[in-house]
Amino acid sequence: MALVEIRDVHKTFGKVEVLKGVSLDVEEGEIVTIIGRSGSGKSTLLRCINALESVDTGEIRVEGRHVHARMPDLKKFRQRVGIVFQAFNLFPHLKVERNITLAPLLTGRIDKARARALAEDVLARVGLADKIDAWPEQLSGGQQQRVAIARCLAMAPHLMLFDEVTSALDPELVGEVLKVMEAMAKQGMTMILVTHEMGFARNVADRIVFMHQGRVWEQGSPAKLFANPETPELASFIASAK
Amino acid sequence: MNFLPLWRYQNQLVDGAIVTLELTVISALAGLLIGVAGALALKGRIAPLRWLVRFYIELFRNTPSLIQIFIVFFVLPTFGLKIPAFEAACVALSLYFGAYSVEIIRAGLDSIPRNQLEAGQCLGLSGWQVFRHIVLPPALRNAYPAVTSQFVLLLLGTSLASQVAADELFHVAGFVESRTYRSFEVYAVICVVYFAMAMGFKALFAIIATAAFRWPRRR
């Protein structure tokens, strides 16, 4: 059984059908990168996986459990699935430590005595141990995004979703975030990424999924997809992304 | 000009100022509770409750607060609900301040981007936890300037309670005037007192703000 099973998912916003029957499996420990033009439905698909959006028809299962906005234990489920957003979404009124420990404390994952140690641990993993007492506003975009990743890691998720996490960053800050993600990949985290970073997709992903017009248009290993795209749409996308 | 005749009424004037402060603080606290509850109702899913809150806001923001006080004091007793002047003024002013607070706090809540809520939900927090820990603190900061200026308007507006003979500052001034015939002097004095109280609250609010909102503002 795959960790994530997506079966014939349809999703419509108003009159626009964003997902037109998407099916996709992601195995435990796999790194899957979703690429495609804006409007192809990649972010929507990602948001459906942790029930931020509900699907109209079709089914999404994670660890065998049917995912939807009214599922019992939605909160428990979301503690097991981390998501990192394009806009970081750190809480501006909380210092870095509290940003990280808020959810573990409120959900009872850890007690107060161990909170700081947890924050130190996950910050070390993203290379920001010295920023534990900083306000988010005092950090660069790249640092904020790494704190956002650390905040997810503090929940010890089984699956990480990344929604264009480098798109809002200045070019010189992209590398530090990708490096953190690469390290997570090496440690065996299951990851689904929506990204425009073709270099990262090529080097780190086990599989690349090309979405086009609300469908999975083509998928396969990076080597195969980049070298021999089967469809003209993917060929032209790769050409334009270079 | 002669302020000396006022001297023997200093105790009454001080008592009046204290009643004014009590009226203001009680009405402000009750009004803030109404404000938070009303704002949540406005953002909630129960349509009849939303209509009710809307109607309440429009009613109290578009009628003279003097008449609101009169209705609570003079009209409710005809329905068997007799309330003393101070309490009646408290009720009316709470509802008046509450009507403005609902809108101010709703605007504060709306100022928090949706992605902040999503980030909280995605960490597995409950709706209440997201509201309490993620939405409310920055929303209060954004609403704070409007709440405090509304508070000063409330402080000055408590003088209306004199019309139902609540023993607040303005009512005491009328009494002192009738005894001394020193109109200018008495109103000059309470004008200074109102001004001093307003400035005092302003300073207090500034101190509270620095203590409560320590995080840097978005650049």
The whole-angstrom distance between B218's CA and the closest CA on chain A is: 7
Beta A159-163 vs A81-84: how paired, if at all?
A: parallel
Beta carbons of A81 and B123 less than 8 angstroms apart? no
Q: Which pLDDT score, from 0 to 100, does residue A26 have?
A: 96
Place of tokens 């409310």: B136
Beta carbons of B59 and B127 less than 8 angstroms apart? no
Q: Which pLDDT score, from 0 to 100, does residue B4 have?
A: 85
| pLDDT single digits (tens) A185-199 | 999 999 999 998 888
Place of tokens 């703000």: B209
Q: Which residue has the higher pLDDT, A60 or A39?
A: A60
Tokens of A231: 């469809």
Q: Read off the pLDDT band of B2 (50, 70, 90).
A: confident
Share of chain B above pLDDT 90, in %: 90
| pLDDT single digits (tens) A82-114 | 999 999 999 999 999 999 999 999 999 999 999
pTM over 0.90: no
Q: Read off the pLDDT band of B9 (50, 70, 90).
A: very high
- Taking the C-alpha atoms of residue A174 and residue A170, their distance in angstroms, rounded to an integer, is 7
Which chain A residues are within 8 Å of B213, Cβ to Cβ?
A: 93
Q: Read off the pLDDT band of A39 (50, 70, 90).
A: confident
**Phi (first) and psi of residue A163, to 5 degrees:** -105, 90
| pLDDT single digits (tens) B113-141 | 999 999 999 999 999 999 999 999 999 99
* Closest chain B residue by Cα to residue A78: B124
| pLDDT single digits (tens) A136-153 | 999 999 999 999 999 999
Sheet of A65-66: strand order equals A16-26, A4-13, A57-62, A65-66
| pLDDT single digits (tens) B81-108 | 888 999 999 999 999 999 999 999 999 9
- Residues B15-37 have a mean pLDDT of 96
A198/B contact by beta carbon, under 8 A: no
Q: Which pLDDT score, from 0 to 100, does residue A242 have?
A: 66
The closest CB to that of A106, out of B129, B215, B218, belongs to B129
The closest CB to that of B115, out of A75, A76, A89, belongs to A89
B125/A contact by beta carbon, under 8 A: yes
Which chain A residues are within 8 Å of B123, Cβ to Cβ?
A: 78-79, 102-103, 107, 151-152, 155
Beta carbons of A81 and A88 less than 8 angstroms apart? no
Inter-chain residue contact B218 with A75, CB threshold 8 Å: no
At A84 the three-state DSSP class reads: strand
The closest CB to that of A155, out of B115, B118, B124, belongs to B124
Q: Which pLDDT score, from 0 to 100, does residue B80 have?
A: 86
- Residues A32-50 have a mean pLDDT of 93
CA-based Rg of chain B, rounded to a whole angstrom? 21
- Can you state the angle between helices B10-43 and B136-157, rounded to 10 degrees? 140
Q: Residue length, chain B? A: 219
| pLDDT single digits (tens) B31-40 | 999 999 999 9
Q: Which of A127, A78, A123, A117 is nearest to A96 (CA)?
A: A123
User: What ipTM does this complex have?
Assistant: 0.91
Share of chain A above pLDDT 70, in %: 100
Indicate if the pLDDT at residue B1 is higher than 90.
no
Q: Which pLDDT score, from 0 to 100, does residue B219 have?
A: 61
Which chain A residues are within 8 Å of B114, Cβ to Cβ?
A: none
